[in-house]
Structures are given as structure tokens and as C-alpha cells.
Amino acid sequence: MNFEIPDFAPAAPEIFVLAMACAVLIVDLFLTEKNRVITYLLSQTTLLGAAVLTVSLHSAAPQVTFSGTFISDSLADVLKVFIYLITAVVFLYSREYLIARKLFKGEFFVLGLFAVLGMMVLVSGYNMLTLYLGLELLSLSMYAMVAMHRDSMPSSEAAMKYFILGAIASGMLLYGMSLIYGATGSLDIAEIAAYIQNSSSDDMVLLLGLVFIIVALAFKLGAVPFHMWIPDVYHGAPTAITLFISTAPKIAAFAMVMRLLTDGLGGLLTQWQDILVILAALSIAVGNVVAIAQGNIKRMLAYSTISHVGFLFLGVLAGTDEGYSAAMFYVLVYALMSLGAFGMVILLSRAGFEADNIADFKGLNERSPWFAFMMLILMFSMAGVPPTVGFYAKLAVLSAVVDVGLVWLAVFGVLFAVVGAFYYLRIVKFMYFEKPEDKAPLASDFDMRAVISANALVVLALGIFPGSLIALCATVI
Amino acid sequence: MKSIYLTIALAPLVGAIVAGLFGRKIGRAGAHSVTIAGVAISFLLSLVAFKHIVIDGNPAFNGAVYTWLVSDGLTLEIGFLIDRLTTLMMMVVTFVSLMVHIYTIGYMKDDPGYQRFFAYIALFTFSMLMLVMSNNFLQLFFGWEAVGLVSYLLIGFWFKRETAIYANLKAFLVNRVGDFGFLLGIAAIYMYFNSLDYVEVFAAAQGMSGVTIQLFPGVEWSLLTVIGILLFIGAMGKSAQVPLHVWLPDSMEGPTPISALIHAATMVTAGIFMVARMSPIYELTETALSFILVIGAVTALFMGLLGLVQNDIKRVIAYSTLSQLGYMTVALGASAYAGAIFHLMTHAFYKALLFLAAGSVIIAMHHRQDIREMGGLKKYMPITYWSSMIGTLALIGFPGFSGFFSKDAIIEAVKVSSLPGSGFAYLAVLLGVFVTALYSFRLFFIVFHGKERMDEETRSHLKESPGVVTWPLILLAIPALGIGALTVGPMLFGGYFGESIVVDAAHDTLAKLGEGYTGVMGFILHGMMSLPFWLALAGIGTAWYAYMVNPGFPAQVRERFQTVYRILANNYGIDDFNDRFFAGGSRKVGRLFWKAGDQAAIDGFMVNGTARGIGRLAVVMRYLQSGFLYHYAFAMIIGLLVLITVFVIF
């Protein structure tokens, strides 16, 4: 067997992030509490550098390297740029929160960067092993981040649950992969796809592998009934970590769905479509209904995530290019909205006070009309009210589903979106029609206020001019 | 040119926003300066557009300026169609609007809502421009509703007056009826043509002429007739045609400048403009044209008669507006679209003039509007008197004045029309000439001549209005006098409208008239020998006799024909009927639906019931989230097993 030196260029952003994450780790050792901000700045620089590298090395034709285990195509590049952007904003939102809670440590940023690296590998993986590698790197970083607040009981409990359930899911994923390897004789996505093309699709082993893989994917995204970790982890983890978990990794998980289900197992579309229909319907229903009963906004947003995952699946299960691009549009929009919503929770929190009850939003309009309006935009967008971008996201996935003849599923989705509107609008009601319990105006750094405003305004602006992002999603699929 | 068109529409909007939102900061002078500047820019640029399209002969502009969304073949966009018809409307709208803006400085001088008023009328100008410049039905509908909204706001401008609130609600509700038809028409167009773009719809209209639809089982209707009539119902609301005219007289509760601008010169003509714009559709459906013809004829004659018994100076002019709108509608029905638009233009000038002159009288009379308290104002207000004279002569169609050309052309066009109902329409418009002359000169004589019936206090303060009021009068008097003679040739017979108006050769009434057209002088001479001229003279003579020579005569007539008088004074009982049947009836039905349908079934059972149900479900399902790790893992395994069982084993 000849060993060829692989072409490193397509993986340059990954290599850069890896090198920088190690550098940050070492630099951080020599910093005192006071100048910890250097770690922060270095991490932001890393993300910026990676973005520059990704954009400048972008080429229209897909490049496959490392013996076919790694791919760099338009889909990967676009998703990566969004991952950098969202992670950078997450770091920015988290800074003050972490400082106030004495969690402003190098670990947060190092683990964050390793998670980003994991996501990048996941996005670019073109072999089952690469995908697994990326997923584990991401997951392990996440487990550690959730547990970072060591003295907090809920935090440790959440980390424990996350770790154990995550391990079960990883096991299922590996088992599914090995079954598929057994059936097809390959771990390479392209070869698996070619094998399925040329053989009958009712191979029992293959189907078994498919089910295991879908279960693992559903766990990662948080689809019912594999969603149970989400509320507890979102609730237990420090808000800054919840913010991170709920945004960028979803984009990476979407990429994994695309690589495994459509690129690799696309030949089994009719089989996995039925499974996704069930998962999507359950997620939309359970997510929206249970969210109503929540009094904690982090838990509420956790259930809202579950319902959004259901909608995301609607786009994927359509199995058409329109559906995939609608799902991609949905996941990007979801990440933006979730970023803003958890950002608002952070903005409302202060040292020693977690603003994580829905009641904490009472009378926000009297305390700060501007941010109440920003939250209003975000909630409207999550509920899917035009002219915010959330409306277009829902519209796109629903029309994709209708196009393949699953009208009942679209109707089902719309009905539960109406149920979901209740808990989003309840926040709006609290903000505008209730008296504040706490009159203190919001205090925060300028960059935080500017970026969170920009975040919400982008949600509104994309709703008015959705064309460019929709077109982008359509071209990369 | 695209940016010029965009500026034309947006300049008044900018003025409106500045005056409306920052009115308190920029003060009164600031508010009127900024809105007048906006409208003046629009007017000047409209002239540029006119030169570009009409004089230089460039092709019409048709394009989108902003695409809001594309969904499933439906494109929702803001777009302009600027052709010869549009440029004419743009000039009329912006010119009259500019005059009214200037006039308002004097009229609303002491009003606390000064800035608000300017913001509204500038907003109106924007909306009206969006309406006429549109290249698609959606934007047309936007403009249509936006002018309706501003009209509503302005009728109720003095919102502390009971009557003003009543009037604006009435206008709103009656227009809802019309808009309902209009919206259905647009929906029908979208359903069958799958497009809302004018050009695409017009191009496809020919192919649709044979299509029939079933509105009720078993009855086939021609699609285009249904669309035509539905759209025209919208026009009936906005252009106040019988029986949806009831809101217009009451709209005189608003300040006089807007009576001139919105309820006489521009907004109420939107329906006329719309039908002319849709000529490629209407030309394919004679049934709809006949319908339009008859409605217009009824409005022209019977609304004019009501003008005879009114004593409020503005209401007399309001009924004359109704009657004139009827004339325009008749012209549309007779396929003389160019005649309708021509009359629309001349009417815009002379009716704005008449209203503003009436406003000038009202200022002098300290906001008293009853003509029985006026008289002999000629010597106090010479400018107002002479401009009113020009306006009145134009209104009755005295040869040489602008109204003469347009009205005569309409009457002649109806005469040669062969549609069902054209005989009745001809009779109605002919008698209408007599009635018009009678009520116009009744008003004129009572207000400006005869005994001075006002009290001593008022008489001592009588004087001509200030320059900001009289200058617009003078500037409007010029087109009221001369625009007809100047433009009759090209507009009616010279193919001014080019491609923008389509007339089927079979009922091209104006072309028939054009065969005998020998120039302006010939037209005047012919007019002086025809029946309408003598009817108009007879009307003036009757008015002269009844109100100058023998003032007791009207009372005698009233005594003798008491029933007729009562019918007229009660607006043929239409208002009573509406109040009792529609208003009362729908309140009863509404109460029923509210109690039984809304409160009990929908709120009680469906909405609150569902909400309660889902709330309970949520609480129950919440317990599934037990917090125990082994429950979670168990759920995952169960999920996996179920999926395997369902999808692999079976």
C-alpha cells in the first residue's frame, strides 16, 4: 500500500484552528486573572483567521483529500463560516456573564475552540470515521463545558446526564456504522452511496444500520423521543454554555445529517423518510406542547429547540433539493434566533442573579423599551410571524413538504406552530403588559448591546430581504 | 427615469413623515414648508415625466422597483407603469394637491391640528400617486386602501365632533362594501390569470373572453363580466356611485381643503381611473359596460336632483360632484374612456376651484355654511366671485369653458353608443345638464347676489380672503377656463392615450365623434346648436327666475310637490334604509354571532377549550421528564426498539 502525502490545503482552516487552540491553551497558562482578556481576544482572532482562510481557500469545485476522508465543498465552507460567526458572537455574549460568575477561564475558550474544530471536522467529514471523530471531539468538549461550573449541583448533574446519554448515542452511532460497513464493505460515504445504488435496498443489515444511525442523529439534534437530555442540560448548564450548545452545534449536526443520510444513504430515501416523518411529528408536537408548561425560560427554549428540530426534519425528509436548502435555511435562521434569545437571557442576568425565569421578563418594556422590542422581534421570529425571517424559514420547509405530497404533515406542523405561538407571545405579553418586579435598567457593555441589537435587527432585516440567504442555501446544496 | 419616478412618489411621503412625526419640533411653518416642498417636487418631476413620455415620445416605463417576495409564481412587488394615462393623472393629482397645500395655510391658520393636517394630505398625495403609478393589482389595492385610510382620517379630522365621527365611520363602512367586491375581483384575476401584473393580465384577457364560471350551480357567467363587475363595485364605493354614494355628502364634515382635494378632485376619481386603466378587460365584456352605463346614468341624474334641495354650501357642491362622477362613469360605460379621463381632468380643476372658493366664502362667513345666511357677497369678495363664476360656468358646460368640451363629448358619445341601456343613459345625462345648471346657479345667485341675509356682526367682518387662499383660486381658474379648449383635440380625437387605453372598434364611440370633429371652434359652434346648450340656458334662466326675480317661487313649488320634496330631502330614503336594514340588521346578526357563535362555541368551546386541553396535556407530559437518567435512557432504547420493529422487521 503506497502512502501518498495528502493535500493539506483544503484542511488549512482546521489545521489553523487546532494550532491556535493549542497556542491559546499554552498562552493562557502564563496569564493572570487580570489580563485573561488576552485569551478572549486570541480566541476571537482564531475564529476570524479561520474565517479568512475558509473564504480565501474556497473553490467552487469540491476538493477531497486525506484518501477520500475529508471534503471541502461549498456546503462545508458556508456552514463553517456561519459556525465561526456564531461562535464569535457566543464568546462575545458570554464574556461579561462569565466574568461576573468567576468562570472567565481559559478552559472555556480552549474547549470552545476544540468544539469548533470538532464541528469543522463534522462538517467536512466524508468518511464515517471522520464524522465520528468530529462528533466525539465536539461532544467531549461540550460535556466538559457543561460541567465547568463545578460548584453548581445542577450543572454537574446536567453534565453527568449529558455524558452518559451521549455515550449511549455514540455507541449506537458506532454500531450503526459497523453494520453499514458490514453490509457495504466500506466506510467511505461515496462508496457506500455507490454500493446502495447498485444493490437492492431491502437488505436487513443495512436497514438496521440506518435505524441506529438515525437514532444517534436524532439524539444529537434532540428529536423526540431522544430529546430528554435537552431540557436538563439547557437548564443546568451556565447560560453562556447553553447559548453555545443551542446554536453552532446544530449547524454541524445538520451537516452530519446531510453527509450521512443524503450523501451516503440517499439510496434509502424512502426508508428514512418514514422514520423522519415520525420523529418530526413527535418533536413538533411534544416540543410545542410541553414548552407551554415551563416556567423557566431556558427550559422553555429547550423545548422550543425540540420543536424547531422537528421543522428542520420536515425540510430534510422532503428528500428534494428544495427541501435540503429549506432545512439549511431553517437551521441557520434557528441558530441566529436562538443566539439572540439566549443572548437576551444573558443580558438580563447580573452577578448573583440568573434571569432564567419567564417572569424575569415582566415589564421589560418599562425598563428598556429598545431591548424589549429586540426580544419581541426574536420571539415573533421564533413563532414564525412575518415579516421576520422565522416566517420564511417555516414557509420554506412547509412548502418543501407540501411539494412531495405530505400535506397532512404540513398542516400538522402549522397547527402546532399555532400552539407554539402561545409561549412565545406570553413572553411578549410579560414584557409589555406586566409591571416589572425589578426596576433596575439593563447594564451591559457597549459591544454586547450593539451586537445583540444587530442580532435581532438581522432577524428582522432577513425577513424583509430574505432573497440572498435563500439563494445562498439553494446554490450550495 | 426610474429614480425620478421613485422620487415623485416618495417626496410627499417624506414630507408626511417629517410633518407627522416631528411636527411639534419643526413647528407650523416647518410642517407646511416640508410638505409643500415634497408635493412641489412631485409636481415638477411629473412635468418632467410628461415631457419624457408624451412630448419626447419615449415608450412607457414598466418595471419593478422593489420585489418583496416571490412565492410559487406569485411575485409581490412595487412597480411603476408610467404611460400617457399615468402621467396625466400624476400631473392633475400633484397640481391640485399643491394648490390645496398652499390654500390650507390660510384655511387652517387657527387650527390646533395644523401639522397633523399637512401630514395627512401629503400622505394622501403619496397614496394617490402609488395608486395611479402602479403596474400591478396588489399595489393598486394598496394605494386604494391607503387613500381610503387617509380619507377616513381626514373626514374625522375634527374628531371631537359627533357628526364627523359618524361621517368617517360611514365612509369607512360603505367603502368596505365596495372594497370587498374589488378584492374579490382581484382574487378572481389572480385565480384565473395566475398573475397580478397589468401587462400580463391584459395580454391574456383576450384569450379569456370565452371562459365561463359557475357562481351558483347551473348558472354560467362569463369570467370577464364577473371580474369587470366586481372591480367596478370597488369603483362604485370609491367613486360614490349609486347606491354606494351615501358616504360622500357626509364626508363634507371634513375641512374644506380636503373636500376639494380628496372628495372632489382626486380620490373619488380613482374608480374612474381604475376602470379606464382596465379598459382591455372591460372592452371584452359588454354586460359589464352596460351595467356601468346604467349605474352612471342613475347617479348623474338623480344625485344632481338632490343638489336642488340642499342648503349647506358644501353639500350642494358634494352632490354636484356625485352627479359629475356619474357623467364620468357613463362615459366609461360608453367606451369613451378618453372622454371619462378628460372629464376627470377638467372636473378636477373646476371642482377643486369651486370647493376652494366655497372655502373662501366659509372663511369670510366665520365658518358658517348655510347658504340661507349668505347673499350679496359679490361686492365683498371679488376674486372669489369671479373664480366661482368661472368654476360654475365650467361645471354647467358653458361653451368655451373646460367642462363644456368634456361633458359635451360624453353626451355625444352616449348618443352614438349602441349598448343596452344607452337610450336611458342619454336621456339621463341630457336632463342632468338642465339640473346641473339649475342647482349651480341657484347656489351662485343665493350666495353672491340678492339680499344680504347675514347678521350685522358677520357683515361687518366680511372681506376678501388672504393671498394664500386667493392665489390658488386664480391658479385653478386658469385651467378651469382654458384646459378644455387646449386639450380637447389631442385627448379625445388625437390618440393622446395611445396604447394605454384600448377600445374595441365595435363600440368606439369617440372615433365616431371624431369623424365630425373639425377643431375647437367647430366643436363650440356645434355645441351651441345642440340640445345640451339650450338645456343649460334653460337651467340658468329657471334659477334666475326662481331665486332672483321671484324669490317666493321655490316655496310655492315645494308646497305643491311636497312628496317629491320630502323624497329628495331624505336622499330617496336610502340612508334610512341603510340605517334600518343594513346597520340595524347586521347589528342584530352580529349580536347573535357574538353570543352564540363567538362566546359560546368558538371562545368557550374551541379556543379556550383547546387551550385548556393543551395546557392540561402539557402538564401531564411534563411528568415524563422525570429527571431520572434511567428513564431517559429507557426512553431512548424504547424509541430505538420501536423504530427497528416498525421499519426493519416489518
Residue-wise DSSP of B12-67: HHHHHHHHHHSHHHHHHHHHHHHHHHHHHHHHHHHHHHHIIIIIS-PPPEEEEEEE
Contacts of A236 (CB under 8 A, 6+ apart): A146, A152, A154, A155, A157, A158, A159
For residue B56 the three cell numbers come to 419626447
Nearest-CA distance B22 → chain A (Å): 20
**Which whole-number Å values give the CA distances from B107 to A312, A359, B357, B377, in the listed order?**
61, 54, 11, 18
User: Are B648 and A208 a contacting pair at CB < 8 A?
Assistant: yes
Which residues does A contribute to its contact with B (CB < 8 Å)?
160-161, 164-165, 168-169, 172, 204, 207-208, 211-212, 214-215, 218-219, 225-226, 228-229, 231-232, 271, 274-275, 278, 286, 289-294, 395, 399, 419, 422, 466-467
For residue A100 the three cell numbers come to 461576573
Nearest-CA distance A449 → chain B (Å): 27
Q: CA torsion, points A78, A83, A89, A92, in degrees to nearest 10?
A: -140
Q: What residue in B sits closest to A168 (Cα-Cα)?
A: B633
Chain A neighbors of B627, CB-CB under 8 A: 232
Residue B580: count of CB within 10 angstroms of its CB: 11
Q: What residue in B sits closest to A160 (Cα-Cα)?
A: B629
Question: CA-to-CA distance for B117 and B99, rounded, in angstroms?
Answer: 15
Residue among B614, B622, B635 minimizing CB distance to A419:
B614
User: Are A168 and B633 a contacting pair at CB < 8 A?
Assistant: yes
Chain A neighbors of B631, CB-CB under 8 A: 228
Q: Which helix (H) or strand (E) holds B77?
A: strand B74-82
Nearest-CA distance B636 → chain A (Å): 5
Mean pLDDT, chain B, whole residue set: 88
Mean pLDDT, chain A, whole residue set: 91
Q: CA torsion, points A275, A277, A278, A282, in degrees to nearest 10?
A: 140
Contacts of A418 (CB under 8 A, 6+ apart): none
Q: Please state whether the peptide bond connecting residue A225 to the residue before it is cis, i.e. omega within 30 degrees of 0.
A: yes
User: Are B647 and A215 a contacting pair at CB < 8 A?
Assistant: no
Mean pLDDT of A17-24: 94
Residue among B622, B625, B647 minimizing CB distance to A271:
B647
User: Are B632 and A399 a contacting pair at CB < 8 A?
Assistant: no
Nearest-CA distance B180 → chain A (Å): 24
User: Are A168 and B611 a contacting pair at CB < 8 A?
Assistant: no
Query: Residue A2's pLDDT is what?
Result: 67
User: Are A225 and B639 a contacting pair at CB < 8 A?
Assistant: yes
Scanning B462-607, the segments in alpha helix (DSSP H) are: 467-488, 509-515, 520-528, 531-544, 553-560, 562-569, 574-577, 585-592
Catalogue the long-range contacts made by B158-162 (C-beta closer than 8 Å, 24 or more residues apart). B158/B113, B158/B253, B158/B254, B158/B255, B161/B253
Tally the C-alpha atoms within 13 A of residue B338's C-alpha that lie toward its C-beta.
27
Query: Residue B56's pLDDT is what?
Result: 87
Residue among B71, B622, B647 minimizing CB distance to A207:
B647
User: B370 forms bridges with which residues in the sheet?
Assistant: B312
Contacts of B294 (CB under 8 A, 6+ apart): B333, B421, B424, B425
Q: What residue in A sits closest to B649 (Cα-Cα)?
A: A204
Contacts of B179 (CB under 8 A, 6+ apart): B144, B145, B148, B234, B237
Chain B neighbors of A164, CB-CB under 8 A: 629, 633
Cβ atoms of residues A310 and A413 within 8 Å: yes
Query: Residue A1's pLDDT is what?
Result: 55
Q: What residue in A sits closest to B620 (Cα-Cα)?
A: A290
- Most B CBs within 10 A among A208, A290, A294, A299, hence the mutation to make, goes to A290
Looking up cell 409589555 gives A432
Mean pLDDT of A262-279: 90
Nearest-CA distance B195 → chain A (Å): 20
Q: What residue in A sits closest to B72 (Cα-Cα)?
A: A399
User: Are B629 and A286 a contacting pair at CB < 8 A?
Assistant: no
Residue B478: count of CB within 10 angstroms of its CB: 14
Chain A neighbors of B632, CB-CB under 8 A: 161, 165, 228-229
Question: CA-to-CA distance for A209 and A182, rounded, in angstroms?
Answer: 9
User: Are A228 and B625 a contacting pair at CB < 8 A?
Assistant: yes
Chain A neighbors of B650, CB-CB under 8 A: none
- Most A CBs within 10 A among B76, B616, B625, B650, hence the mutation to make, goes to B625
User: Are A215 and B639 a contacting pair at CB < 8 A?
Assistant: yes
Q: What ipTM score was computed for the predicted complex, to two decimals?
A: 0.86
- Most B CBs within 10 A among A228, A296, A399, hence the mutation to make, goes to A228
Closest CA to A221 of A323, A135, A124, A111: A135
pLDDT surpassing 80 at residue A340: yes
Q: Which residues of chain B have pLDDT under 50?
A: none
**Which whole-number Å values give the CA distances from B418 to A155, A423, B222, B336, B532, in the listed order?**
88, 65, 21, 13, 20
Instruction: Tell me the range of A58-62, A212-216, B193-197 where mean pLDDT is highest.
Output: A212-216
User: Are B631 and A229 a contacting pair at CB < 8 A?
Assistant: no
Which residues does B contribute to its contact with A (CB < 8 Å)?
67, 69, 71-72, 611, 614-615, 617-619, 621-622, 625, 627, 629, 631-633, 635-636, 638-640, 643-644, 647-648
Cβ atoms of residues B335 and B258 within 8 Å: no
User: Are A293 and B69 a contacting pair at CB < 8 A?
Assistant: no
Q: Please state whether the peptide bond connecting residue B466 to the residue before it is cis, i.e. omega within 30 degrees of 0.
A: no
What pTM does this model have?
0.67
User: Are B643 and A211 a contacting pair at CB < 8 A?
Assistant: yes
Helix A321-348 to helix A369-383 angle (10° resolution) is 150
Query: Residue A200's pLDDT is what?
Result: 67
Using the CB atoms, write b or e for B341-363: b if 16+ within 10 Å: bbbbbbbbbbbbbbbbbbbbbbb
For residue B561 the three cell numbers come to 310637490
Closest CA to B265 of B356, B398, B367, B150: B356
Nearest-CA distance B105 → chain A (Å): 37
pLDDT surpassing 80 at residue A441: no
Cβ atoms of residues A221 and A257 within 8 Å: yes
Q: What residue in B sits closest to A277 (Cα-Cα)?
A: B643
Looking up cell 362594501 gives B177
User: Are A226 and B67 a contacting pair at CB < 8 A?
Assistant: no
Cβ atoms of residues B122 and B106 within 8 Å: no
Nearest-CA distance A110 → chain B (Å): 29
Contacts of B134 (CB under 8 A, 6+ apart): B79, B80, B81, B140, B142, B143, B198
Chain A neighbors of B78, CB-CB under 8 A: none
Question: CA-to-CA distance for B434 and A219, rounded, in angstroms?
Answer: 86
Chain A neighbors of B611, CB-CB under 8 A: 422
Chain B neighbors of A467, CB-CB under 8 A: 67
Give the pairing type, strands A70-72 and B74-82.
unpaired
Chain B neighbors of A294, CB-CB under 8 A: 622
- Most A CBs within 10 A among B636, B644, B649, B650, hence the mutation to make, goes to B636
Alpha carbon of residue A111 to chain centroid: 16
Looking up cell 445583540 gives A452
> Bigger pLDDT: B216 or A201?
B216
Helix A106-124 to helix A37-56 angle (10° resolution) is 20
Q: What residue in B sits closest to A415 (Cα-Cα)?
A: B610
Query: Residue A351's pLDDT is what?
Result: 64
User: Are A169 and B648 a contacting pair at CB < 8 A?
Assistant: no
Question: CA-to-CA distance for B616 and A372, rounded, in angstroms?
Answer: 30
Give the pairing type, strands A70-72 and A63-65.
antiparallel
Cβ atoms of residues A211 and A275 within 8 Å: yes
